[in-house]
Structure 1
Amino acid sequence: MSEPNATAHEQRALKYSVWGNLSLGVLGIVFAALCHSDAVLLDGVFSLINFGVALLSLKVARMVMRPTDDRYPFGYAYYEPILNLGKGLIIATVCLLGLYSSAGALFHGGREIAAGIAFFYAISASGIGLFITLTLRAFAKKCHSPIVDVDAKNWLLDTVLSGIIAVALLGVYLLENSRFRDWAPYADPVAVMVLCLIFMPVPIRIIRENWAQVLGQNVDAKLLKDAREAMANYLADKSCESHQVRAIRAGRFVYLHVFLIVAKDATWPSSVEEQDACRRAICEQLKPTYPYLVIDVMFTHDKVWADQDLLS
C-alpha cells in the first residue's frame, strides 16, 4: 500500500476509535451512575481516557509523516513511541487506581449495585468493543501503523474487561437470589481487583517496548536478522571485505545503517550508479516487511569509520 493510502487508512481508523471511545465512555459513566458499580465506572473511565489519547494519536499520526526540517533533521518518528509509552502509563495508572478503590471497598463491607442494569451495559459494551477491535486490527494490518495496533490492543483490553464484568455481574445476580446473598456486595470490588491484576501485564509490555525505542535500543531481533541476511545475500558475489549493520525502530519507522568495507583495489563498486544499485536492492528486499524504511549505506576503504562511535 502506498504511503498516502496508508495514511488515509490510519486517519480513518483513529477517527473510528475516537468516536467509539467517546460513545462507550459516556455510556459507561451514565450506567455507573444508575447501577452504582465501580466495575462499570472503571470500564467507562478507561474508554474516556482512551478517547483523549486517541485525539492525541490523530495529531501524532500526522506529525510523524511530516518531512524533515532544520528543527527536526531526523524527522518526528520518536513522537510515536512516546505517545504509545504514555498510553501504557495511563492504562497502568487506571489499573492501579481500580485496584486501590476496590481494596478499600472490600474492607468497608463491599458495594451494593443494581446488577441487572450493569449487566445490560456490560453485554452491550462487549459487543461494540469486539466489533471495533476487529475493525482496528484490519486497519493496522493494512497501514502498518503501531499507533493503530496499540489502539486495537487497548480496545481488546476494554472488550475483555467488559466481558468479564458481564460474567461477574451475572454472578452478582445469582448470588442476590440465593442463600449466599450476603456475599453479593463483595462481588463487584472483587471483580475489579481480579481484572486489574489480570491486565496489568498489558500496559507493562507496552511501556517496556516503547521505552526501549525512546532510548534507541534495538528491541526487534528479527529486524536486525532480516537486515543482515539481506546484506549477505546481495554481497554474495561482490568483492566486499566485510560489512556492519545497525538497525533500530522508532514507532513504524525502521532506520538501517550499513557500512561496507571494500579493498582499495576492489572492482566493485566501480561507480556511484553501482552504489545506488546496492541501496535500491536492499530497499526492495526489505520494504515489503518494513514499509517505513530509512536506509543509509556507506562505502569505505578504512574500517575505522565503520567501528567509530560517539566516544571515538
Structure 2
Amino acid sequence: MKRIESRALVIGMWGNLFMAAAGIAAAILSNSIAVMTDGLFSLIGFTAAFLGRRISQKVEAGPDRLRPMGYAADEALFTTFRALSLLGLVLFAVATASMNIYDYLSGGTPPQLVYAPLLIYFAVIGVTCFLLWALHRHTWSRTGKSSDILRLEAKASMFDGIITAAAAAGLGAVYVFRDGFLGPIAPIGDSIVVLLLCLFVVGQYRRDLMAGMGELAGVTASPATLATARRAIRPAIAEYGGTLTDLSVIKQGRSHFVTAYYDPGTAITAARIDDINLRMIADMRADLPGADVLLIISEHPRRWPDDINPF
C-alpha cells in the first residue's frame, strides 16, 4: 500500500511541476494573471506532493523515542500547511487583481491579452488535471480510502481542473464579447476572472485549514466516527464484563486515537488488561483502519468528579 501511494504521489509531483511550468510560461506569453495564478496553484501542488510522499513513508510508523505518540500528526500538519499555502496564494491573487482593476478605473491601460497561447494551455492542463484526479482517486480507493494525503491530492486536482475550466470559460467569454456588451470590462476581464475564481475556492480551502487545525488541536472526531468506535468496542466489553465509563476519539490524518475508560468491576491482572486492550484494538481496526486504543482502568470518566479532585 505504501508503494502504491508513493508511486501515485511521485506522478502527481511531476504532473504538478509540469502544469506549474506551463502556467508560468503561458502567463508570460499571454499577459494573463488568471493563468499565472493557476500555475502558482500547481507549484504549490508540486511542493505538497513532495512533502506528502515523505510524510506517507513514515506516517504509520509506531512510537519511538523521538515521537512517543507516533507520526500520525504529520498528516494533519500536511493538510494544514497545504490549505494555509493555498489561502495565502488566494489572498495574493485577490490583491494583484484588485490593484489592476483600480489602476484601470484610475485611467491606466492594462497589458493586452494574447489569446493564442491560452487555447493550448487550457486544453493541455484540463486533460492533465483530469488524469491526476483519476489517478489519485483510484489509488485512494485501492489503499482502503484511509489516506488523507491522497484524498486531498485528488480533491486538489479536481479543484485545479475546475479552476482551469472556469478561467477558460471566463476568458473565452471576454474574447468573444470583447466588442459587445463586455467591451467596457474587456481590458480587466482577466482580473475579474481571478476574483471570481478566488471567491469560488476560498471556502473549500478554509474548511481544509480548519479541519487540519482541529486535528492538530486534538478536537473530538465526528459524531459518525464516535458512533463507529462505540459499536466496535462493545464486543470486548460484553466478553470480558465490566463497564465502559467513557470513550474519546481523536482523528489525526488516517489514524484514530481512541481512549477507553474501563471499570472492570473486580480485581484484574495486568495480563488480562493486555488481553482486553488487544481485543479492543483488533475490533477497532476492523472498522477504523489504523486506529489505536488506549485502555485506562478507572471507575471515573475522562474528567475527575469535582468532589474527589483536589486540584
Q: TM-score range by the shorter chain?
A: 0.7 to 0.9
1:9: which partner in 2?
Answer: 4
Q: Could you say what secondary structure the match of 2:112 adopts? A: coil
How far apart, CA to CA, are the structure 2 residues paired with 1:284 and 1:311? 37
Distance 1:167 1:66, change over 3 A: same
Q: Could you say what secondary structure the match of 2:155 adopts? A: helix
How far apart, CA to CA, are the structure 2 residues paired with 1:311 and 1:8? 52
In structure 1, which of residues 289, 292, 298 is the aligned counterpart of residue 290 of structure 2? Answer: 292
Alpha-carbon distance, 1:289 to partner:
3.5
How far apart, CA to CA, are the structure 2 residues paired with 1:97 and 1:90? 11
Q: Superposition pairs for residues 204-219 of structure 1, below 5 Å?
A: 204-219=206-221
1:125: which partner in 2?
Answer: 125
2:193: which partner in 1?
Answer: 191
Alpha-carbon distance, 1:279 to partner:
3.6
Unaligned residue ranges in structure 2 (runs of 5+):
105-109
1:3: which partner in 2?
Answer: none
The superposition leaves residues 103-151 of structure 1 with CA deviations (integer Å, 9 ceiling, x where unpaired) of 1111222552112321331232112101211211121222221111111
The superposition leaves residues 155-181 of structure 1 with CA deviations (integer Å, 9 ceiling, x where unpaired) of 111111100011012112202354754
Distance 1:180 1:166, change over 3 A: closer
Query: 2:245·2:301 contact (CA, 8 Å) conserved in 1?
Result: no
Query: 1:231·1:282 contact (CA, 8 Å) conserved in 2?
Result: yes
Letter in 2 for 1:259: Y
How far apart, CA to CA, are the structure 1 residues paired with 2:244 and 2:81? 41
Letter in 2 for 1:82: L
2:250: which partner in 1?
Answer: 248
2:58: which partner in 1?
Answer: 63
The superposition leaves residues 44-72 of structure 1 with CA deviations (integer Å, 9 ceiling, x where unpaired) of 11111211222111212223233322121
Identity of aligned residues (%): 21
**Which shows bigger deviation, 33-42 or 252-261?**
252-261
How far apart, CA to CA, are the structure 2 residues paired with 1:276 and 1:308? 24
2:303 is aligned with 1:303: no
1:155: which partner in 2?
Answer: 157
Letter in 2 for 1:216: G
How far apart, CA to CA, are the structure 2 residues paired with 1:164 and 1:217? 36
**Which shows bigger deviation, 302-311 or 170-179?**
302-311
2:87: which partner in 1?
Answer: 92
**Which shows bigger deviation, 275-284 or 151-160?**
275-284
Query: 2:61·2:70 contact (CA, 8 Å) conserved in 1?
Result: yes
2:18: which partner in 1?
Answer: 23
2:271: which partner in 1?
Answer: 272
How far apart, CA to CA, are the structure 2 residues paired with 1:288 and 1:137? 22
Alpha-carbon distance, 1:73 to partner:
1.3
**Which shows bigger deviation, 88-97 or 147-156?**
147-156
Q: Could you say what secondary structure the match of 2:38 adopts? A: helix
Letter in 1 for 2:281: C
1:113: which partner in 2?
Answer: 113
2:78 is aligned with 1:83: yes
In structure 1, which of residues 102, 105, 125 is the aligned counterpart of residue 97 of structure 2? Answer: 102
- State how many pairs are aligned: 301
2:107: which partner in 1?
Answer: none
Query: 1:256·1:294 contact (CA, 8 Å) conserved in 2?
Result: yes
Alpha-carbon distance, 1:204 to partner:
0.4
